[in-house]
Structure 1
Amino acid sequence: MLMALALMLFYIVVCGCLSWYDWRTHILPDRLTCPLLWGGLLFNVFCLPDALSDAVLGAVAGYGFFAGFYWLYRFLRGNEGLGYGDVKLLAALGAWHGWQSLSAIILIASTCGLIIAGLLLWRNPNRHKKTPLPFGPFLVAAGFCVSWLTFTPPVMRLLNSVL
């Protein structure tokens, strides 16, 4: 169960670093998104082995959905509407939380992004509407919102073993 705590701490730290880095630079580096994805799969191997297939499907579905969106938008508009780091981050979140959580993650992240974009435009009406807004921090926040579903079973097992 110590493995579960170490991996959950890893999730929190790497997601926090990704969020901060994306907000400052508009880049989600592979050196953080890839280990996050593998950490999610390892978490499911060691802590939730019954959910491993859901984690693999979550990684594939998260990557596939956002990659499809990325390429379709690029084909239709000729530029990126979503960075490829966001594609990898959603795959990583799918690996941690399973395919069932992807719709909630996308909905929460999109809603938060729209609210913040609206507030930024309201606060500064001269801000250009095409100024990019990093999506990674909103994906991370949404991942934190759904993480209680993923982290509750290992934490409860740990508490039961200690008590």
Structure 2
Amino acid sequence: MLAGLWLDAALGGVIGLLFGSFLNVVIYRLPKMMERQWAAEFAHRDAPHPAAQAPAVPAEAAPEPFNLLIPRSRCPACGHMLPWYENVPVLSYLALRGRCSACRARISARYPLVEIVTGGLFFFCIERWGLTAAGIAWCGFSAASMALACIDWDTTLLPDDITLPLLWAGLLSAALQWIDLPLYDSVLGAVAGYLSLWLVYWGFKLATGKEGMGYGDFKLFAALGAWFGWQALVPIILLSSVIGAGVGIAMKISSRLREGGYLPFGPFLVGAGLTALVFGPGTMLGLALGLLGL
């Protein structure tokens, strides 16, 4: 029985490594896909009325398809197409010693790190809940959270394409009893999570005239409320705020803050959510209070 559980967990870890490799694609491409969509919408909006257009000119060639599957992965420095054996999670990075096989440009260590962390989270979820609906649901939560944290850190965007499915998946998992959370607590957590940050946003904006966070943060906090319940919201926001403030102060002292002096909040919300997944909200509250010296 125990051997079978560990075998399932190991299988989950391997699948997590593969998911982590795909998440690297999502993290890089999804923001660019969003930018292309926005550019196309603006171009369509600003296009002159057909009756006022100048004489027709030959149409430009259609842009190369760009989505999560096309084109194949390539080196951003030289455009070298990666064969399958250079896309094996973690092992390819080690074999290539962190450099492109064609131009020897350095490959970011975050690629294998995302794969390792995702694999570890999948291993944990299957080891704890087994190959059950609960285990698979929490694996999905972990994968979506990893993607959101990295995308927000890179671009300060929290795409609706991930936050909203994550929110609905939490509510559905509670409704179907895949997770150990009453539906009432899940719904209340989603509502309270969204409204709490919405109120903070507008209070800060009315007081300072500035926007302290984006709407994506509201949706992410609502999703965390749907997965963990309203009782977990205070520990999550407290821990994420304490760690976020500490990181922000450290980056400001070292002059590493990006232009404008802001720091995305999403990665810290995700970090607190994953802490709640592994250790539970109660332990997380104690950790946050300990960091505050209370």
* TM-score range for the pair, normalised by the shorter chain length: 0.7 to 0.9
What is the CA-CA distance between 1:49 and the residue it aligns to? 6.6
> Among residues 145, 166, 169, which one is paired with 1:39 in the alignment?
169
Aligned to 1:146: 276
Aligned to 2:246: 115
3-state SS, counterpart of residue 124 of structure 1: coil
Task: Note the residue ranges of structure 1 that are not aligned, 5 or more in a row.
Answer: 151-163
Corresponding letter in the other structure for 2:159: P
Question: How many equivalent pairs are there?
Answer: 149
8 A Cα contact 2:134 2:179, kept in partner: no
CA distance in 2, matches of 1:21, 1:74: 25
Corresponding letter in the other structure for 2:166: L
Show CA shifts across 1:59-118 (max 9, x none): 000011001111121222222111111011100000000000000000000011011011
3-state SS, counterpart of residue 182 of structure 2: helix
8 A Cα contact 1:36 1:92, kept in partner: yes
CA distance in 2, matches of 1:30, 1:107: 24
Aligned to 1:56: 187
> Among residues 111, 124, 127, which one is paired with 2:255 in the alignment?
124
What is the CA-CA distance between 1:128 and the residue it aligns to? 7.8
Aligned to 2:228: 97
Task: Note the residue ranges of structure 2 that are not aligned, 5 or more in a row.
Answer: 1-130, 282-294
Aligned to 1:78: 209
CA distance in 2, matches of 1:35, 1:123: 37
Corresponding letter in the other structure for 1:38: W
Could you say which structure has the higher helix fraction?
A: 1
What is the CA-CA distance between 1:122 and the residue it aligns to? 2.2
What is the CA-CA distance between 1:147 and the residue it aligns to? 1.6
8 A Cα contact 1:121 1:129, kept in partner: no
CA distance in 2, matches of 1:141, 1:22: 12
TM-score, normalised with respect to structure 2: 0.48
What is the CA-CA distance between 1:138 and the residue it aligns to? 0.1
Aligned to 2:154: 24
- Does residue 8 of the first structure (1) align with residue 138 of the second (2)? yes
Aligned to 1:157: none
CA distance in 1, matches of 2:135, 2:187: 21
What is the CA-CA distance between 1:124 and the residue it aligns to? 2.3
8 A Cα contact 1:62 1:102, kept in partner: yes
Q: 1:116 to 1:39 in 2, by over 3 A?
A: same
TM-score, normalised with respect to structure 1: 0.84
8 A Cα contact 2:181 2:229, kept in partner: no
CA distance in 2, matches of 1:2, 1:49: 13
What is the percent sequence identity of the aligned residues? 42
